[in-house]
Structure 1
Amino acid sequence: MKKLFRKYIPAPHTITENRWLSKLGPRIKDPNLWHLNRRSVSAGIFAGVLCAFIPLPIQIFVAIFFCFFIHGNLPISVASTWVSNPFTYIPLYFFCYEVGAWIVGVPVDTTGNPIRVNFDIILTDFDAFLKQLAEVGWKAMGPLFLGCAIVGLTSATLSFIAIRLVWRLHIYRSWNHRQERRLKKSSH
């Protein structure tokens, strides 16, 4: 399992000597942030996936900061923030909004109908469209942030558990293969 991660993760010295990251001081050189073991990788995945659901462009920085406290693997954490990327933003945040809206109730207008954006006016009255979009955006922020928190925490927890289980399964299989080889070797 370590070989798989080492293949794609840059060497710690290349990251710690980066001119931007070196400003984080001696904490960035903490060896616990660079270990590849079941605990650090699963904690790094947890931090990265959780921060991937922050609907602001600060995900990587929050993941790095979070890793300092939970001693998660820093490169794994940064890489796992890319669960949300330009290709997945729209479906991901739409799903998060739907979850949040389901929990708190969909924002409604004065007549009790769900708020919808009228895309037909984009060509006729662009200013009215922007005003309508801004109004809907402010009302949608609460459900979006709540949905992001719930979906992010759930996804991060499931990712944490999955990494722990897969790593344990890998170790279990390795032990069994070694035991089989020993038995074959001793029988000859």
Structure 2
Amino acid sequence: MGWLARLRQHIPTREQIHNNPRLAWLGPWLKEPKLWHWSRRGVAMGVALGVFFGLIIPVAQIPASVAAAVVMRANIPAAIASTLVSNPVTFGPIYYGAYKLGVVVTGAKKTASPKDLLASTEVDEDAGLWTRVAALGKPLLVGLSITAVLMGLLTYGVITLIWRWRTVTKRRSRKR
């Protein structure tokens, strides 16, 4: 059994989701067949949306990606799974790289590195992590926006190309 078949075993079926009483209020939107179909466009769009929302917003990534998938008729399971690109392990490097990109793009003066700012007392000691991250300001927001858009577009293109390549390869092997 391939990895894709094993992955599909763990994804709830459309019927399981439709019969879930907690999700009954979403019924009219979630019953659209295109949202669950494994097509090239649907999966590529779902992954692109998931990566975008996984990078751009630190909380509520899954609801945002599902809402966007419903509006854009993308694959919901792919959108949900791809939000995991941002997790506790990757959060730090992603935000640090986005901040550095934002400093370059905006031309902002770097008064302190993000590492120093997050560890320093320039921001109130009682302030939470989000307050400290918000103190990084415009460079971080610009860097995250650019990173999220570029990575979303890149994943859409790569998945489309891989899907197309696999389709052509299968057709050629059937002809032989």
Local SS of the residue matching 1:53? helix
Larger Rg: 1
Q: TM-score, normalised by structure 2?
A: 0.83
Which of residues 64, 70, 73 is equivalent to 1:71? Answer: 73
- Quick check: 86-95 or 18-27, which moved more? 18-27
Which of residues 138, 145, 170 is equivalent to 1:174? Answer: 170
Contact 1:42–1:160 under 8 Å retained in 2:
yes
Q: Distance in 2 between matches of 1:18 and 1:151?
A: 36
- List aligned pairs for 1:46-57, cutoff 5 A: 46-57=48-59
Contact 2:102–2:141 under 8 Å retained in 1:
yes
Q: Distance in 2 between matches of 1:115 and 1:71?
A: 43
Shift of 1:7: 4.5
Local SS of the residue matching 2:56? coil
Opposite residue 164 of structure 2, the aligned amino acid is: R
Identity fraction in percent: 29
Contact 1:118–1:129 under 8 Å retained in 2:
no
Unaligned runs of 5+ in 1: 109-113, 181-188
CA RMSD of the aligned region, Å? 2.8
Unaligned runs of 5+ in 2: none
2:112 corresponds in structure 1 to 115
Q: Distance in 1 between matches of 2:23 and 2:108?
A: 42
- How many residue pairs get aligned? The number is 170
Q: TM-score, normalised by structure 1?
A: 0.78
Deviations 1:70-101 (A, max 9, x none): 11100110000000011111111111111112
